[in-house]
Amino acid sequence: MMFQLETPFEYLILLMTLFTIIGLRYVGLSFLFDYYFYRFNRKKYLSKIVEESPLKPGQKISEIFYSLGTSLIFALAFTHMVWLWKNNKTLVYLDWKEYGPLYLPLSLVAVMFVHETYYYWLHRWMHWPAVFNLVHRVHHSSHRPSPWTSFSFHPIESVLQVLIFYFIVALIPLHPVIILIYLLLMTISSLINHLNIEIFPLKFVESRWGKFFIGATHHSLHHRFYKTNLGLYFTFWDSWCSTENTQYTQVLMKKVNAQ
Ligand SMILES: [Zn+2]
Ligand SMILES: [Zn+2]
C-alpha cells in the first residue's frame, strides 16, 4: 500500500485524492451524458425530453458549485470511514471468500434496499415545508433537471445523504469491490434519473420488471410536482405509500413512444 494511513498528513492526502476522484467523476460523467444526449444525438432524443421548460440562467454554474460542495462532504465522510475501517470499527472485509461468493451480490442488493428505504423516508421528511426551505430547496431550484443536477445538494442535505453509509459499513459486511460497484451504480442511476430524457425502451418500461425502476420521467415529474415520486432507484416505496404520480404511466408511455 502506498500509504500506511497512520499520520494526519496521509489522511489529508487521502482526502484530497478522494475529493479529486469524486469531483472529476461528477464533472466528467455529467459532461459525457450532456454531450451524448443533448448534442451528439440531439435530434434522436429531442421528442423524449420530459420537462420542456428551459434551464434557468446560471443554473448549470450553481449546480456545479453545489455538486463540488457535495463532493467535498462525501470525500470527508469517506476519509473518515477509511479511518474507522483502519481502526476495526466497520464490517468491511478484504478476503472475498470470507462469506462465500453468493454473499457478494446479496450484499449489493442489501445495500440497495437499505439505501432506498433511508432515502425515501429522508426525502419525504425533506419535503416538510420548514425542512424543505433549509435543506432541499437547492436541489429543487433545478425545475428542469439535467445531468449536472445529479449531485447538486445543499451541504446539509449532502451530510444527511452520506450519513447512511456510516450505518451501512457498520451493519453490513462489505467487500471493497462491492462498495465500488455500488458507488458506480449510484452515480449512473442519478445521472439517468436527472437526464430529463426517457432512455429506457418501450419493451422494458412496459414490463413488470421495468415498472419497478425509476427513470428520467419518474424523477422529472418529482422535480415538477414535488410531493410525488420520492424514490431513489425503485418505485416500490412510492407504490406502497401511494406517493406515485398518477400521470406517471401516461407521461412515460408518451415519451417512450415518441420518435
Ligand atoms: Zn432530483
Ligand atoms: Zn424532492
Question: Is residue 187 situated within a structural domain?
Answer: yes
CA of 250 to the centre of ligand 1 (A): 20
Ranges of residues in the chain with a pLDDT under 70 are: 1-3, 259
pLDDT at 206: 83
Question: Is residue 2 situated within a structural domain?
Answer: no
Residues 147-157 as b/e (b if ≥16 CB within 10 A, e otherwise) read bbbbbbbbeeb
pLDDT at 6: 87
Give me 236's grid cell. Answer: 416500490
Whose CA is closest to 191, among 157, 225, 216? Answer: 216
**The one-letter amino acid at 224:** R
pLDDT at 25: 97
pLDDT at 207: 87
Whose CA is closest to 200, among 215, 220, 184, 218? Answer: 215
CA of 1 to the centre of ligand 2 (A): 41
Question: Is residue 235 situated within a structural domain?
Answer: no
Number of domains in the chain: 1
Q: Is 90 exposed, middle or buried (0-12, 13-18, 19+ CB in 10 A)?
A: buried
pLDDT (tens digit per residue) in 74-105: 999 999 999 999 999 999 999 999 999 999 99
CA of 35 to the centre of ligand 2 (A): 26
CA of 176 to the centre of ligand 2 (A): 30
pLDDT at 2: 58
Which listed ligand is nearest to 225 at the C-alpha? Answer: 2
Question: Is residue 54 situated within a structural domain?
Answer: yes
Question: Is residue 244 situated within a structural domain?
Answer: no
Question: Is residue 20 situated within a structural domain?
Answer: yes
Which listed ligand is nearest to 142 at the C-alpha? Answer: 1
pLDDT at 252: 82
pLDDT at 259: 52
pLDDT at 5: 87
Domain containing 146: what range? 8-196
pTM score of the predicted model: 0.93
Whose CA is closest to 36, among 191, 144, 142? Answer: 191
CA of 130 to the centre of ligand 2 (A): 14
Question: Is residue 45 situated within a structural domain?
Answer: yes
pLDDT at 208: 84
